[in-house]
Amino acid sequence: MISYSEGLAKILSYAKQFSFESVPLKLSNNRVLAEEVRADRDYPPFNRSAMDGFTISSSDYSENKIYHYRRELPAGSSFQLEKGEEAIRIMTGAPVPIGLDVVIKIEDSLLSEEDNNGKRVSFSLESVRPWQNIAKKGEDLHEGDTVLLPGHTLGTSEISMLASLGKSFVSVAVLPKVQIISTGNEILSIDQTPLDWQIRDSNSYTISSILSKYKIIPESVKNIPDEETLLTEAIAKGLESDILILSGGVSMGSLDLVPSILQKLGVGLVFHKVQIKPGKPIWFGKRGNTIVFGMPGNPFSVQTCSRIFLEPFLRASMGQKQNPVMRLPISGTRNKKGSFTEFFPVRLDTKDKTYLSTVPFNGSGDIRAGLFSDGLAVHPSDSVQIREGDWVEFLPW
Amino acid sequence: MISYSEGLAKILSYAKQFSFESVPLKLSNNRVLAEEVRADRDYPPFNRSAMDGFTISSSDYSENKIYHYRRELPAGSSFQLEKGEEAIRIMTGAPVPIGLDVVIKIEDSLLSEEDNNGKRVSFSLESVRPWQNIAKKGEDLHEGDTVLLPGHTLGTSEISMLASLGKSFVSVAVLPKVQIISTGNEILSIDQTPLDWQIRDSNSYTISSILSKYKIIPESVKNIPDEETLLTEAIAKGLESDILILSGGVSMGSLDLVPSILQKLGVGLVFHKVQIKPGKPIWFGKRGNTIVFGMPGNPFSVQTCSRIFLEPFLRASMGQKQNPVMRLPISGTRNKKGSFTEFFPVRLDTKDKTYLSTVPFNGSGDIRAGLFSDGLAVHPSDSVQIREGDWVEFLPW
């Protein structure tokens, strides 16, 4: 049986980048950028006043000198300095005219009475320095500078930036076509009334919810009993998608038909079973361009396998950076037997410091297992005990 | 001028919970639960075999005793124990028949040859304990137990749970109607070509992207110049929504028309200006059932004001729990003058431990300010210096 890191490495090695498409920026939240984006011009595009006040030249400044001014320069306009003009009233966001290099804010300005030459102002500052209160053209970005590379997830900061650059359409990774099949004679769709020994299909909801983080809507979601003909038909249909995700039917039982049907349909096994808890019986394979995840049937196993294997695969396939590793201190101790890597639900708690707290549950069949947790913590394969205060790997949901 | 905590408290005091509506569970991701959810039956709903193997009674177990069995019990079926029947082949997920209380996994079973009485099996375990490898009826939840309360955000764990409970429709907080107006003569929509002294409207994209986290799609998004008639008309229209979000026009300039127009239209001022950086000029008020946020025009100010004021308001208005406070160690030192609360972009980095790193930028007009950051860190009003290793409040995006 392979280890967690071997399983993850194998899965990632099968990620083949999907194509890309152009979408309107306003619909691009959480999509994965597929182009290099460069600055279309300098930013700021002009010497921008950062304050409301007056713009003057630093060259002949002195405290209490009387400046004459006539004009007021709002944002969205542009002035050329006129002959003899030594000060201009200027607004935040307006371009400082060529020949001037200082903005003094209105609070430091002393307005005098108008004389024959126009309005008058002096300033209470002992001295000024060139470019004070001015964001200089190009100080943030120069035209042609690379701003974003392919692989960035488009969150608020990225979308804000792309809007500034005028990218009303943006190239993003195409979303894969996904089908989901929950298998098991005991599984009913959630709008049916179960008999005492039946349970409802939560797994397809778990998987769909995780896919929705990536804006993926499954093409089809089915519940299929452990019946060879029906299951073969559904799986054959599922193999027409990019990714087929099954839950249930991959363990040791005589009705665990999924592996044999997959192999009969020509899906090549990459691995079956990984040294992890929960999720040990996971099956992973490939036919043509279709990747198949066969997850165990327990709800917490599905949520864990989705987080530790499916999501990294999706990210790699969309050319997206992997989530960076996080390590936080944990409260309490945790003991482990055996050499499996174990994943357990944890909550973020904060007193003076943010730390992880374990969330108790009754094993991977417990429908409450993930509830009230912020993610999974990792108990590494070679560690017997996690101790109070250890910095533990944390995988946020 | 009020402090950050006073501003936040005032904003939250104006949150009035919106109504609720029923939506299909599959469309409920990131919505806010508006009902108390209880277990519709015990969970597990029956004594569920956690293994593939044999089910027997603990009462007369002995190692190497020969058990006769005839039947195989898959998940999704139910058997009543027949007279003389002492063992049943059982699958993971199947209900253990009444009268039996042990499951022994197939790996610990020794199958013998069939005799006249049927198939035979013995077990290699020295002893068994009652209920081993069985998830007992009701051990996770009892019928009627409260599972979720109103205010929970529906993430993967919650949706998985609700599916298990058969909630194909779920009551959630109605989304508010929001309008966005970016003001400023210098602002063009992002598909127009700016002149040298014009910039594109990124702010409405920033705000829309943040709203999308809550599944809110703005009713309308407009760019309006600093022109009294046009702005009055647009704001009057905006006041027909639940929340009107403006950016720009709230500072000291003579073209900063937003506060006067709002007051002319009967919007009551709650506060104007808060001791924060960035975002100081923020304006907040109310008319009837409409809340108005007047944010400053700089992109990083908009992103910050949205995170620290708009999002808490939205959460409170939807009855949603606030994000819990997080505190993480920071690398590097940071000095501050004055008594404002300052917010600065930080990245999560991990070596052995996860810590915050500052992301350099050129002030709140820098369109790169939020880029490559994972959230904001807080430099409290009364702190002069943040030191290497201090545990600093962190607001993830």
What pLDDT is stored for residue A115 in this prediction?
Answer: 83
Determine if the peptide bond prior to A44 is cis (ω within 30°).
Answer: yes
Determine if the peptide bond prior to A299 is cis (ω within 30°).
Answer: no
In the numeric block, which tokens belong to residue B316? 């409170």
pLDDT digits (tens, 9 = 90+) for A376-396: 999 999 999 999 999 999 999
Same domain membership, residue A155 and residue A198: no
Euclidean distance between CA atoms B206 and B191, whole angstroms: 16
Domain presence at residue A144: no
Does residue A396 sit at the B interface (CB-CB below 8 Å)? no
In the numeric block, which tokens belong to residue A332? 């309490």
Euclidean distance between CA atoms A259 and A264, whole angstroms: 9
Which of B105, B135, B165 is the last residue in one of the domains?
B135
Domain presence at residue A245: yes
ipTM above 0.85, yes or no: yes
In the numeric block, which tokens belong to residue A341? 């890597």
Same domain membership, residue B278 and residue B179: yes
Same domain membership, residue B106 and residue B84: yes
Q: Do A75 and B186 touch (CB under 8 A)?
A: yes
Q: What is the dihedral of CA B375, B381, B383, B386, to 10 degrees?
A: 10
The ranges of chain B with pLDDT < 50 are: none
What pLDDT is stored for residue B326 in this prediction?
Answer: 97
- Assess whether pLDDT exceeds 90 at residue A64: no
CB-closest option in B165, B299, B368 to A141: B368
Cβ(A93)–Cβ(A63) under 8 Å?
no
Which of B85, B110, B135 is the last residue in one of the domains?
B135
Does residue B23 sit at the A interface (CB-CB below 8 Å)? no
Q: Do B205 and A370 touch (CB under 8 A)?
A: no
What pLDDT is stored for residue A357 in this prediction?
Answer: 97
Q: Do B202 and A92 touch (CB under 8 A)?
A: no
Q: Do A324 and B165 touch (CB under 8 A)?
A: no
Q: What is the dihedral of CA B277, B281, B287, B292, to 10 degrees?
A: -60
CB contacts, 8 Å: B78 with chain A: 195-197
Q: Do B348 and A368 touch (CB under 8 A)?
A: no
The CATH number of the domain holding residue A68 is 2.170.190.11
Same domain membership, residue A348 and residue A287: no
pLDDT band (50, 70, 90) for residue A18: confident
Domain presence at residue A145: no
Which of B260, B289, B317 is the last residue in one of the domains?
B317
CB-closest option in B106, B253, B324 to A348: B324
pLDDT digits (tens, 9 = 90+) for A94-135: 999 999 999 999 999 999 888 887 899 999 999 999 999 999
Domain presence at residue A141: no
Does residue A220 sit at the B interface (CB-CB below 8 Å)? no
Does residue A254 sit at the B interface (CB-CB below 8 Å)? yes
Does residue B98 sit at the A interface (CB-CB below 8 Å)? no
- Mutation pick from A209, A343, A353 vs chain B, by most beta carbons of B within 10 Å, is A209
Domain presence at residue A142: no
The CATH number of the domain holding residue A385 is 2.40.340.10
Same domain membership, residue B182 and residue B63: no
Euclidean distance between CA atoms B354 and B324, whole angstroms: 18
Does residue B328 sit at the A interface (CB-CB below 8 Å)? yes
Same domain membership, residue A192 and residue A157: no
Same domain membership, residue A266 and residue A227: yes
In the numeric block, which tokens belong to residue B160? 């998985």
Angle at which helices A156-164 and B203-212 cross, to 10°: 160
pLDDT digits (tens, 9 = 90+) for A50-60: 999 999 999 98
How many domains are contained in chain B?
A: 4
Same domain membership, residue B109 and residue B10: no
CB contacts, 8 Å: A166 with chain B: 190-191, 193-194, 200
Bridge partners for B141 per DSSP: B43
Residue-by-residue DSSP string for A99-129: T--EEEEGGGEEEEEEETTEEEEEE--S---
pLDDT digits (tens, 9 = 90+) for A330-358: 999 999 999 999 999 999 999 999 999 99
What pLDDT is stored for residue B113 in this prediction?
Answer: 84
Residue-by-residue DSSP string for B14-48: T-----EEEEEGGG-TT-BB-S-EE-SS-BSSS-E
Other C-beta atoms within 10 Å of B116: how many? Answer: 5
CB-closest option in A159, A202, A361 to B160: A202
Question: Could you give the 3-state DSSP secondary structure of residue A344?
Answer: strand
What pLDDT is stored for residue A363 in this prediction?
Answer: 86
**Residue at token pair 């019928």:** B143
Cβ(B299)–Cβ(B250) under 8 Å?
no
Same domain membership, residue B87 and residue B56: yes
Cβ(A279)–Cβ(A308) under 8 Å?
yes
What pLDDT is stored for residue A122 in this prediction?
Answer: 95
Euclidean distance between CA atoms A314 and A194, whole angstroms: 34
Same domain membership, residue B111 and residue B146: no
Does residue B186 sit at the A interface (CB-CB below 8 Å)? yes
pLDDT band (50, 70, 90) for residue A254: confident
**CB contact set of B349 (below 8 Å; sequence gap of 6+):** A324, B331, B355, B356, B357
Same domain membership, residue A156 and residue A200: no
Q: Do B166 and A76 touch (CB under 8 A)?
A: no
- Mutation pick from B156, B187, B307 vs chain A, by most beta carbons of A within 10 Å, is B156
| % of chain A surpassing 70 pLDDT | 100
> What does the DSSP 8-state code read for residue A164?
H
Q: Do B46 and A187 touch (CB under 8 A)?
A: no
B:33-92 residues touching chain A, CB 8 A cutoff: 43-46, 48, 50, 52, 72, 74-78, 91-92
Euclidean distance between CA atoms A211 and B159, whole angstroms: 13
Q: Do A185 and B212 touch (CB under 8 A)?
A: no
Domain holding A338, by residue range, is: 326-396
Contacts 24+ apart (CB under 8 A), A186-194: A186/B75, A186/B76, A186/B93, A186/B94, A187/A223, A187/A225, A187/A248, A187/B76, A188/A223, A189/A223, A190/B25, A190/B163, A190/B166, A190/B167, A190/B168, A191/B166, A191/B168, A193/B166, A194/B45, A194/B166
CA-based nearest distance B128→chain A, Å? 20
Same domain membership, residue B288 and residue B212: yes
Closest-CA residue of A relative to B218 is A26
